[in-house]
Structure formats: structure tokens, C-alpha cells
Amino acid sequence: MSSPGPALPLVVGFDLDLTLIDTVPGFRSVLLALGAELGVDFPVEEMTSKLGPPLDLLLAPYLPAEQIAAVGDRFRALYPEHAVASVPALPGAHESIAAVRRHGGRVVVVTGKYAPNAQLHLDHVGFEVDHLEGWVWGVGKADALVREGASIYVGDHIHDVEGALAAGVTSVSVLTGGCTREELEEAGTHVVLDDLGAFPAWLDDHLLSLRLAALEADLVARGSVLVAYSGGADSALLLAAAVRALGADRVVAATGYSHSLPQVERDPARELAESLGVQVLTPETHELDREGYRANDGDRCFFCKAELLDTLVPIAAERGIAYVATGTNADDLAAGFRPGIRAAAERSAITPLADAGLTKDQIREASRRWGLPTWDKPAAACLSSRIAYGVEVTSHRLARVERAEAAVRAVLAAAGVVTHDLRVRDLGDAASVEVDAVLLSGVLAPDAALGVQLLDEVRAAGFATASLAPQGFRSGAMNLRLADPERWR
């Protein structure tokens, strides 16, 4: 059965004049200078009230046809001196470009303006874009949008709408130009915003909706899935999405039980899955039987994931379930060092969240909307991730890390201190305790009584020495130590 491929990268196109920048002051100055040279009294206010059409069309009512081309050239020659320094970015423009970047997207500017002058504007206001296409108008913009792979085009004019529709992309219109909401809607735009200040929030919601729809379509195409389910935010959303798409009778949740899965994680995970109507399997996995896992080199996660998938794939086959799915997300794919992902891929596990382009933030937002209790759950990697690379993973080490973290939670809870993230890192004989950095300048300052008590409890759990990590909690801290041991030791 064929399946959807990974989500296409985001590319957003923007018009320039009166979408990203307020061209009116500069345009007015050039018209005044040009009129003075030609001895023509251009109706400047009227001509700048509806900027957008090509310059030749704006000049045509006031000049003989045979002069238009030469006067247009002179206009463009005067432009840099008269129309760049006075033109500001419109409110929300910088934030809109940043919003595209935040989603890992490319920014292209497709404008009717002469490209060299358009570039001067981009440089002046500090817009960093990936591609500039100038001197294109109306449906002519479609070629550039298609060539650059845009899925959204933002403009202020009905002819920007024409370009977006001709390219088959989502048309977003802003009311900062001369066109009214009614004119833009009549032209067929999909979205009308008052200005670019509303664009980042719209983009967030638009992409989440698109990616959830892609996730649903992917899961429907699969027919049935066994979800490798840890009870964290990612696998919980995947499980809930699978139930929505396929029905609970065609979905199974499987949680591998071993020394590396904290006891505190087990009941909440099972209860959530059961609340979705899903059967929960808890096969034992035996990571510690794998030499590569015990050795705990940089590729430990490969052996962990290999053990999990080697356990789950036969279970899925026995039950007639078409696919085993993991909760890998789009951020995981971009993170680089993820040997576990390679092990899962080698065993034909699917990654619907990542394929739909869903990031961790989007997974949390979707979980919040769906009422899943995991929407704000802190990351809860397996206990072996607490043990420094090169230190052998044993059941004893896993148990003392679990005891130490439980003791730290108890100390903090008794003191009424809330911490979002917590790790006890096993560095051999020493423990490094990571909590939210904000606590380290307050109740857990180096000489604070609570910090002393907390470290006493960690030592009592089986560590010779213990200290509070001065940087606070850092996701993937062991990977940082592996990459740069001198900096992070």
C-alpha cells in the first residue's frame, strides 16, 4: 500500500508594496521629482491612493503613449534617491517573516516592482528573504510562486489574489493597500486580515490544521496501526489521532516494560490509552541483554529502539495489524543525532507525526485542543538517558536514578516547590541534579537549606556525591556532553 510522503517544506510568498512596506511616501516623492523634470503636474494623491498596478498603467492617463517607456525608465532611475530611506516596514512585517522562519520555512518576495529597487527596500528595512522576483504582475506572479514551491501568497491587491489563485496556493490578503475587504473577497481570496500583525497567529493555526488533516489522511490510508506508546505527549497524540481516524478497534497501544521505564510513568499511560478505548499491551523488553545497549556508547538508543521494534513488529503481525507507528515528530528529524530513529526505520516502523510535519509545539497545541492531559507533560525520556555515555547501563544504575528522582520530587513537593523538568544524571559515582534554572537563584541556591536536603536525598539513593547542575535542566544534556565533554562536564 502506498503512503503519503513527508510534508513539503513551507514556502510563503509576500507581495512588497503596501503588504510588507508602506510605499506611499517614497512613491509620492518620486512622482513629484519626475513631474518637476517633465513639467507635468501629476495628481500625486490620486495616483498613490491605489498603488499596485504596474507603473506603465499608472502613468498612461497623463502622458502620450510613446513617452511611457522612457518616463518609466526615468522613474526607476530616480527611485533609489527619493523612495528608499523614507519607506518603512509595515506593522507586523518583521514578525510575519519571523513566523515563517520559526516554522522552518522559506520566504520569497514576488512583486511588480523593478527588482533592483525592491532589493534596496529589503536591505533598508532589514528583511532577509530567500528569493526576490521582481517585475511580475497579476497572474504573472503564479510562475514564480510555483517555481519556488510556495503554498501561501500574501498580498494587498486583487491582482495579488489573481496570482495566488493561478498558482493554486492559499491567498491571504491584508487591508493595508487600497482594496477593500469586499473587493478582495469577490476576487476569491481565501483569507482577509486587517494587517500583518494578525499573520503569525493565522499561520500557526493554518499549519496546525493542515498538518492534522495530513496526519488523519495518512492514518486512514494505513488501515490499522500498533502505536509504540510511552504515554508522553507525542505518542499520546498519535494514539488519539489513530483512534479518531481508524476507530479504537483498529488501533492497539503497546508499551515496552523494562528497567528503563519509570514506574511513575506506567499507570498514567495505561489509563489514558484505556480512556480512548484502546487495548493496551505491555510486553517485556530486554534492552539489557543487548551488549550495545549496556556499553552505552553514543548509539545506545539504536539498541533500545531495535529491541522495542523487534518485540512489537511480531506482535503486530500476529494480530493482523498493518503497521507499527512511533511518535517521532518533525523536530526529532531535524535534531540530527537520533540513532533510535534509524533503528526504527530499518524495521519499517512508520512515523506519521513527522511525515505530517508536526513539531513538538504543534503536538502540544493539538493535544490541548483535544483535551489530552499530556499536552503540557514534561519530556520523560527513558531512565538510561540519564546515564553518561561510556558508563555501563545496569539495572542497579537505572534503579538508583529512579530512586533519586523520586526522592527529589518528594523533597520539592513537601516544600511546595514546583519544577517542570527534572533529571538526575548518573555520571559514574557522582550525580548531577538538573531542575528548572529559575529555581537555582532562589530556593535551590547553592547555600539554600532545601538544596542541601535535596542533595542529601540523592546521595542516600546510592550516589557517592551529588551536585546541582549550574545551568539547570537541559534537554539532551548527555548528547551535549558527548559532543563537547570539556564544556559540559
Answer yes or no: do 132 and 149 share one domain: yes
Answer yes or no: do 253 and 305 share one domain: yes
Domain count, the chain: 4
Mean pLDDT of 94-118: 95
Average pLDDT, the chain: 91
In a domain, 456, yes or no: yes
Q: Closest Cα partner for 423 from 378, 361, 362, 483?
A: 378
Q: Residue 387, Cβ neighbours under 10 Å: how many? A: 22
Note the pLDDT tens digit of each residue in 301-336.
999 999 999 999 999 999 999 999 999 999 988 876
Query: Which of the listed residues 151, 171, 206 is the one where a domain comes to its end?
Result: 206
Lowest mean pLDDT segment, chosen from 28-32, 114-118, 423-427, 465-469: 28-32
Question: What pLDDT is recorded for position 444?
Answer: 87
Answer yes or no: do 342 and 423 share one domain: no
Mean pLDDT of 331-349: 87
Residues 91, 195 contacting (CB under 8 angstroms)? yes
Query: pLDDT > 70: what percent of the chain?
Result: 95
Return the CATH number at 62: 1.10.150
Answer yes or no: do 353 and 412 share one domain: no
CA distance 358 to 374: 16
The torsion defined by the Cα of 370, 373, 376 and 378, in degrees rounded to 10, comes to: -140
Return the CATH number at 422: 3.30.300
CA distance 292 to 191: 54
Mean pLDDT of 244-260: 95
Residues 251, 242 contacting (CB under 8 angstroms)? yes
Q: Closest Cα partner for 121 from 30, 11, 12?
A: 30
Task: Estimate to the nearest angstrom the gap between the alpha carbon of 315 and the chain centroid.
Answer: 33
Question: What pLDDT is recorded for position 259?
Answer: 86
Question: What pLDDT is recorded for position 132?
Answer: 98
pTM of the model: 0.84
Answer yes or no: do 410 and 370 share one domain: no
Q: Closest Cα partner for 244 from 279, 212, 269?
A: 212
Answer yes or no: do 433 and 350 share one domain: no
Query: Which of the listed residues 380, 399, 424 is the one where a domain comes to its end?
Result: 380
Question: What pLDDT is recorded for position 2?
Answer: 43
Answer yes or no: do 276 and 358 share one domain: yes
Residues 359, 329 contacting (CB under 8 angstroms)? yes
Mean pLDDT of 87-115: 96
Task: Estimate to the nearest angstrom the gap between the alpha carbon of 14 and the chain centroid.
Answer: 20
Mean pLDDT of 11-21: 96
Answer yes or no: do 229 and 345 share one domain: yes
What is the side-by-side strand order in the sheet with 465-468? 422-426, 430-435, 465-468
Q: What is the DSSP string of 100-134?
A: HHHTT-EEEEE-SS-HHHHHHHHHHHT---SEEE-
Residues 134, 111 contacting (CB under 8 angstroms)? yes
Return the CATH number at 329: 3.40.50.620
Answer yes or no: do 402 and 300 share one domain: no
Q: Closest Cα partner for 303 from 292, 314, 289?
A: 292
Question: What pLDDT is recorded for position 445?
Answer: 79
In a domain, 211, yes or no: no
Answer yes or no: do 15 and 29 share one domain: no
Q: Closest Cα partner for 10 from 366, 358, 363, 326?
A: 358
In a domain, 403, yes or no: yes
CA distance 401 to 382: 11
Lowest mean pLDDT segment, chosen from 72-86, 109-123, 129-143: 72-86
CA distance 486 to 482: 9
Lowest mean pLDDT segment, chosen from 217-226, 396-405, 472-481: 472-481
What's the DSSP call for residue 63?
A: S
**What domain range is 43 assigned to?**
24-82
What's the DSSP call for residue 431?
A: E
Answer yes or no: do 357 and 405 share one domain: no
Return the CATH number at 143: 3.40.50.1000
Residue 178's pLDDT band, with cuts at 50, 70 and 90, is confident
